[in-house]
Amino acid sequence: MRRNLLVLCGMVVVSVLFADVSAIGTWGGSELEVFKAMCTSVGVKVNFETTRDLDALIATRIASKNLPDIAILPNPSMLKRLAAQGVLKPITYVSREELSQTMARTMYDLGSYGGKLYGVFVKIANKSVIWYNPEEFKKNGWSVPKTWKELVDLSAKMAKAGKTPWSIGADIGWPLSDWVENIMIRTAGPELYQQWIDHEIPWTHPSVRKAFQTWGDIVGNPKYLLGGIDGTLATTFQNAAYAVFQTPPKAYLYYEGDFMAGIVKAQISSANMDFFVFPSIDPKYGAPIVGGGDIIVVFNDTPEVQKLIKGLIDVKAQTVGAEGGFLVPNRKVPLTAFKDPVLRKSAEIVQQADIFVFDASDLMPPAVGNQGGFWDAAKKYIQNPKNLDKILQEMEALAKKNY
């Protein structure tokens, strides 16, 4: 702890300026600078060690009994693994009620293990938006859909007019699994969604089947896909996005996260881009957010760490993060704090959502959630939706081997 000593009339007065906290994570550059600014707003100086291999560094520190005070993890799976090892300290000074007042109600559970809170999110990502060109929508008299039915009806309307509704890049599978996840949370709700991640329900469960079949409303019709089935499977997710925003456009709708603005603008600087929230399917679940995020966990529970944790989730520090370019989870942060218009609109969508869940494939064992598993299953479904039973049976067999 760094102190400033003042001597007044023979008396020593200790004025604490900043408390020092040690931290490790993968952040560097501007991302780290924004985080440090957030910490400064709390009155805590963080000594941050950046690493490219966080898993290996934490394992080494555990073995040498030289853990930092905190770490910033890229997903809740790592949190659960470390909590199960007994190396994390529970965050008992932040209650479910307190967190739920400012963030989506599911945030507490995402940071919990065994009923105790072990981590809080400081930055998130939004993967629940659909991109379009507003000029093309206006020219053709199309309205932004608010429900899944309206989205499917709009796709049919475009196709009937001789236009290709969707551009989807499926050469790598994760953009496809993102589709299924967004549908699953909207049709099954957060409890079944988490049970699916944890393999507490099988891949052959009716809720998983329904998610794929609902996705089939769009990908099951080759006329809705730019390049048909073969073209979709051969296209990168970047090129698929460019097709919607080039002049003239080859398609009119594109699904992926809010990060796509930077990717498209780097290639087509004049792109007229806007997005709307991935529509509601079952009204009782509204329009949940599927995303990612960075979560802070505690190894050493000191007063300085407690001050930092409580401060970082408060609106003051979260506003500093928003001003620096972070999409933050605190719903009380004023939208004017988000200087970038894309980030501001994404934040508005996040703030209106009651449910935030993590990308499911990122929380599954890699052999299940990634290439060779979920990603490829989604590709196979596009190739032939009639093979859904076989696809889900294969996924269940794979899950049984890897959980």
Architecture of domain 2-125+291-339: 3-Layer(aba) Sandwich (3.40)
Q: Where in the chain is the domain with CATH 3.40.190.10?
A: 2-125+291-339, 129-287+364-402
Percent with pLDDT over 70 in the chain? 95
* CATH architecture classification, 129-287+364-402: 3-Layer(aba) Sandwich (3.40)
pLDDT, tens digit (0-9, with 9 covering 90-100), for 131-171: 999 999 999 999 999 999 999 999 999 999 999 999 999 99
Residue 8 pLDDT level (bands cut at 50, 70, 90): very low
What does the pLDDT average to over 94-114?
Answer: 96
- Is a pLDDT exceeding 60 seen at residue 324? yes
Residue 5 has what pLDDT? 35
Q: What is the pLDDT of residue 17?
A: 45
Task: Compute how many other C-beta atoms are within 10 angstroms of the C-beta atom of residue 49.
Answer: 12
Q: For residue range 338-397, list pLDDT tens digits in order.
A: 999 999 999 999 999 999 999 999 999 999 999 999 999 999 999 999 999 999 999 999
Residue of 302 and 17 predicted with greater confidence = 302
Banded model confidence at residue 11, pLDDT cuts 50, 70, 90: very low
pLDDT computed for residue 346 by the predictor = 98
* Torsion 366-369-375-377 (CA) sign: positive
> Can you give the pLDDT at residue 19?
57
What mean pLDDT value characterizes the chain?
94
Q: Kindly state the percentage of the chain with pLDDT values over 90.
A: 95
Please choose, from the candidates 327, 328, 360, the residue with its C-alpha nearest in 3D space to the C-alpha of residue 185.
Answer: 360
Query: What are the residue ranges of helices labelled H in 43-132?
Result: 54-64, 76-85, 96-100, 107-110
> What's residue 6's pLDDT?
35
Mean pLDDT of 239-255: 98
Phi (first) and psi of residue 181, to 5 degrees: -65, -45
Predicted pLDDT of residue 77: 94
pLDDT for residue 2: 40
Is pLDDT of 237 > 70?
Answer: yes
